Amino acid sequence: MIAPAQRMSSIKPYVFAGLIQRKEQARAAGVDVIALDIGSPDLPPNEQIVNALVAAARHPNKHGYGGFTGTPAFRKAFADYYSRRFEIELHPEKEVLPLLGSKEGIYHMAFAYLNPGDVALVPDPGYPAYVGGALLAGAIPYPMPLRRERGWLPDFNAIPADVLSKARLMWLNYPNNPTTATAPLSFFEEVVAFCRRHHILLCHDNPYCDNGYDGYVAPSVLQVPGAKEIAVEFASLSKSHNMAGMRVGVLMGNAEVIKTVGTLKTNADSGPYLGIQEAAIAALSGDQAWRHAVQETYRERRDLIVHGLRALGCQVDVPQATIYVWAGIPAGFRNSAEWAEHLLAEKGIVVTPGTAFGEHGEGYVRISLGAPTERIKQALQRMSK
């Protein structure tokens, strides 16, 4: 066999691909598996979104390429959404770039801005794509530990000077996956100033900004005055509008970064399918009342899991946002992988061990709210036995 490129030796198979394989093996063996690992909404999009997609699919002229930068109406829909939601003004042509889901854009960002030997500052625990993109680009991911005693916020003063001198990108993500932590606008003001001082491009991944509970409203880093000089933000409709399978998101902010990543994309892929773009427009511009019912369903599931795990002796904070619960492992287990393995082997329940998100995730597991409520109740009953 021809040997793969050397860069492939720097990364492992994607953690959730492995979890899917484990679930399939367990089901093939006759196990009634309850999957609480992947953050994929089980609820459907609103009817207005589906109708827009169906109408486009039936239109004979809607099956060509979607354009490298999407349609003007698509870009305007996201710019208008940010204007309403955050009071941020974005130029639809220069400061909004469609993505085939945020994950694709995260990898493109690494190849567009990281040279071999450069440093990418990444949260630990954090979304694995931040590390994977840096490694594939030949760069060095430097972990910024997130700890409970700091509210799961990084300590920028702990980053060594020699690391900062090589740092080109910083990744942040609040509301946070996997810890569910939130960050105030004052934190973003601090980090914008820090990145400007050290000439670091700030990349904020913000797919959970509309998955808040109990009145919590998440900010955007682009609300900080002058943020667009040094920052970009990723947005997605996967979690907020139950459109994970449609793979639609955007990169917004600094116009030069948008132009650079857009140039890479013209060589690497195309824009989203026109029908998905029209579904996204319907999602952003249509009635949003239906989303309150979705969040109420997630809130009910959140409360069930928090209460059930606390009864098992787990340390669990009540999430203000996201579609996850970040839970400390119960007594009697050496580490998060051991408890996750026990839950699958003995209970038929799949959760994600915290170390899937980095070494500082040890001692925790991430549990997804994207499973039917009755299945979550069954899972908790199995755990209690």
Rounded-to-integer distance, Cα 126 and Cα 219, Å: 19
What's the CA gap between 27 and 348, in Å, rounded? 9
pLDDT tens per residue across span 228-250: 999 999 999 999 999 999 999 99
CB atoms closer than 10 angstroms to residue 106: 23
Q: Tell me, what's the pLDDT at 16?
A: 63
pLDDT over threshold 90, residue 12: no
Residues 37-71 pLDDT 10s: 988 999 999 999 999 999 999 999 988 888 888 99
Q: Mean per-residue pLDDT for 61-89?
A: 93
- State residue 32's pLDDT score: 87
**What is the spatial distance between Cα 180 and Cα 320, in angstroms, rounded to a whole number?**
7
Whether residue 325 contacts residue 302, with contact meaning beta carbons closer than 8 Å, is answered with yes
Note the CATH number of domain 47-285: 3.40.640.10
- The gap between the terminal CA atoms of the chain, to the nearest Å, is 50
Domain boundaries, given as residue ranges, for the chain: 6-44+290-384, 47-285
Average pLDDT, the chain: 94
Give residues with Cβ within 8 angstroms of 319, minimum separation 6: 180, 213, 302, 325, 326
Query: pLDDT > 90: what percent of the chain?
Result: 85
Mean of pLDDT values over 369-379:
97
Cα–Cα distance measured from residue 80 to residue 90, given in angstroms and rounded to the nearest whole number: 8
Question: What is the DSSP track for 167-195?
Answer: EEEEEE-SS-TTT-----HHHHHHHHHHH
Per-residue pLDDT, averaged over 126-137, amounts to 96
User: What whole-number distance in Å separates Cα of residue 267 and Cα of residue 262?
Assistant: 9
What is the pLDDT, as a whole number, of residue 30? 84
Look up residue 236 and give its two tokens.
């997605």
Q: What is the mean pLDDT of residues 175-197?
A: 98
Residue bearing tokens 């892929």: 269
Tell me the C-alpha distance between 59 and 64, whole Å. Answer: 11
Residue with tokens 């900080």: 224
Give residue 66's pLDDT: 86
pTM of the model: 0.94
Lowest mean pLDDT: which of 31-40, 124-133, 198-207, 273-282? 31-40
pLDDT at residue 15 is higher than 70: no
CATH topology of domain 6-44+290-384: Aspartate Aminotransferase, domain 1 (3.90.1150)
pLDDT at site 29: 83
Q: Is the pLDDT of residue 161 over 80?
A: yes
Q: Which string of b and e fits 52-83 if b means at least 16 CB within 10 Å? A: bbeebeeeeeeeeebbbbbbeebbbbbbebbe
